[in-house]
Amino acid sequence: MRTLTLISVLLFSFSFLACDDDGGTANEVCNNATDDDGDGLIDCDDPDCMSWSGCQTNNVNNTNNVNNVNNTNNVNPVCGNGTVEGDEDCEGSDLNGASCLSLGYTGGTLGCSEGCLYDESACEVPVDCGNGSIDNDEECDGTNLQDQTCQTLGYHGGTLFCTNACQLDTSSCEESGSCGDAIIQGSFEECEGANLNGETCTSQGFSGGTLACSDECAFDYGSCISNAVCGDGSVEMPEDCESGNLNGESCITLGYYGGLLGCLSDCSFNLVSCEGAGRCGDGTVQSSYGEECDGSSLAGQTCESLGYYGGNLLCGGSCGFDLSDCAAAGQCGDGVVQSSQGEICDGSSFGTNTCATFSFASGSLVCNTDCSADYSGCTGLTVSVVQGGKDHTCALGTAGNLFCWGYGPLGLPGAGATSTTPIVSQMPAGVTFTTLAAGTIHNCAIDTAGKAWCWGDANDGKLGIGGGG
């Protein structure tokens, strides 16, 4: 009896090893790129491997599974797999048809970074690109977008940028959509081409006919049929209402802030009371209802008054400011050091600035809320020139920047305040000095370009401009 049991076990084991799920003579090994069972299917393509964890959803190795029609593997782009997908620009030598020329450059060699984004470092920039003016075939230059925004280009939102080749970058705009992109953006569009979003003339309140979509992605009722009879008590398009029947509407549902809706004898709405309450879109800023702007009325505000360095302030569809163009110009607090605007730092970002940038031997800078630097953590100030006036002293740091301290009302320290400790004088971006001289109540310095800078008391022409200050 014991012998028979042993033989049965051996036969069962042999049968298991001899046949697999797809009729082969051995089980498939799922990760060796070999057809182990001879059925013509390799690794994750073989049914034997469907239950193996390495062949399940999100397995980045299974790129050719044609048997599992519900397999959602590789739905996310994988940089480095040789295929341009998702938000990748390129893959290795595959530039997806792009070149330096197609990106707006005058020539050069386009590359692909390790992050599968275009490497434009070897592209040739137009000779005038970067001077802030629109030249030749440039669409923009730096922050000069020629008053263009995503909205003026037909998009519903986003922030327009300028590329290093002085061409408009609409990638952010495209994310918000536009009329004509075949996608109905419900907040802005009723339809897109032949896509009427399931609506018909009948569902829109007409008796029949053919509903169409206009070039502005709004319903076109021109071919809809109406059997409306004003006065019969039944509201049918194009009627708004019938006496005593407002079709469920009110001033509020029509977008007004209040009022009493009425119906005129021609079966159109009487909006007089509604209009008295106002609404977003009437051109009047109603701040009590949270409006910041309305159409072209910006309540006297500009990008600059809101703390930005430039740009065109726009009004959004909900009567709130559209700051996209302002944001492109930047502001103190955006985390980007804009040295051209006098910023030394911005939040935790200091650019290339360190204590050594300002003639200190060591230490750490701290950023003030106005994007100036707090040097209290810097030590070992080194200077090359010291000059004393009547009630103030100035020094030239070894890094070419100026320090002054003393009596402040005439701006002698360069900061307009009396100080007993050295104050780093505010200087235009990129300006450093080679020498310094102090008068009784004024100072002058020569920069590396040979230009003279003076400050303090201007009486008697000390500063070369007359007047005082």
- CA dist 283 and 294 (Å) reads 5
- CA dist 49 and 20 (Å) reads 11
DSSP string, 128-141: TTTSSS--TT-S-B
- CA dist 325 and 398 (Å) reads 40
- Residue 298: inside a domain, yes or no? yes
- Which residue carries 């708004």 as its tokens? 240
In the three-class reduction of DSSP (H, G, I as helix; E, B as strand; rest coil), residue 8 is classed as: helix
Instruction: Please give the structure tokens belonging to residue 425.
Output: 């004088």
Full domain range(s) for residue 291: 280-331
Helix (H) or strand (E) holding 123: strand 123-124
- Residue 409: inside a domain, yes or no? yes
Which DSSP symbol is given to 40?
A: S
**Does the predicted model carry a pTM greater than 0.75?**
no
pLDDT in the model for residue 365: 93
- CA dist 164 and 129 (Å) reads 8
Which DSSP symbol is given to 411?
A: S
pLDDT in the model for residue 307: 94
Strand partners, 297: 294
- CA dist 333 and 339 (Å) reads 13
- Residue 118: inside a domain, yes or no? no
In the three-class reduction of DSSP (H, G, I as helix; E, B as strand; rest coil), residue 108 is classed as: strand
pLDDT in the model for residue 378: 92
- CA dist 7 and 267 (Å) reads 96
- Residue 295: inside a domain, yes or no? yes
In the three-class reduction of DSSP (H, G, I as helix; E, B as strand; rest coil), residue 6 is classed as: helix
Instruction: Please give the structure tokens belonging to residue 4.
Output: 């028979």
Instruction: Please give the structure tokens belonging to residue 94.
Output: 């595959």
Q: Which of 310, 331, 352 corresponds to the end of one domain?
A: 331
- Residue 308: inside a domain, yes or no? yes
Q: Which of 264, 296, 331 corresponds to the end of one domain?
A: 331
Strand partners, 263: 269
Q: Which of 300, 331, 362 corresponds to the end of one domain?
A: 331
Q: Each residue's pLDDT tens digit in the chain (469 positions)? A: 333 333 233 233 333 333 444 444 456 666 555 666 666 666 666 666 655 545 554 443 444 444 443 444 445 678 889 999 988 899 999 999 999 988 878 889 999 998 899 998 898 887 788 888 888 888 998 888 998 888 889 888 888 889 888 999 998 888 888 999 999 988 789 999 999 999 999 999 888 999 999 999 999 999 999 888 999 999 998 999 999 899 999 999 999 999 999 999 999 999 999 999 999 989 999 999 999 999 889 999 999 999 999 988 989 878 999 998 898 889 999 999 988 888 999 999 999 899 999 899 999 999 999 998 888 899 998 999 999 888 888 899 999 988 888 876 655 555 555 555 666 666 666 789 999 998 888 889 999 999 998 887 777 555 655 544 4
- Residue 453: inside a domain, yes or no? yes
Residue type (1 letter), 437: A
What b/e string do you get for 274-295 counting C-beta neighbours within 10 Å, with b at 16 or more? beebbbbebeebeeeeebbbbe
CA 288 to each of CA 291, 293, 322, 420: distance values in angstroms, whole numbers, following the listed order: 7, 12, 19, 49
- Exposed / middle / buried, residue 319 (Cβ in 10 Å: 0-12, 13-18, 19+): buried
Instruction: Please give the structure tokens belonging to residue 236.
Output: 């049918």
In the three-class reduction of DSSP (H, G, I as helix; E, B as strand; rest coil), residue 161 is classed as: strand
pLDDT in the model for residue 15: 33
Which DSSP symbol is given to 12?
A: H
pLDDT in the model for residue 409: 66
- Residue 85: inside a domain, yes or no? no
Residue type (1 letter), 101: L
CA 16 to each of CA 2, 44, 337, 416, 458: distance values in angstroms, whole numbers, following the listed order: 22, 21, 69, 92, 102
- CA dist 124 and 35 (Å) reads 50
Sign for the CA dihedral angle at 26, 28, 34, 37 comes to: positive
Q: How many structural domains comprise the chain?
A: 2
Query: Both ends of the chain: CA-CA distance in Å?
Result: 117
Instruction: Please give the structure tokens belonging to residue 342.
Output: 């006098």
Which residues neighbour 348 within 8 Å (Cβ) at sequence distance 6 or greater? 335, 367
Contact status, residue 358 vs residue 399, Cβ threshold 8 Å: yes
* 145-154, Cβ contacts within 8 angstroms, sequence gap of 24 or more: 145/325, 145/328, 147/312, 149/312, 149/314, 149/322, 149/324, 149/325, 150/176, 150/324, 151/314, 151/322, 153/178, 154/178, 154/179, 154/180
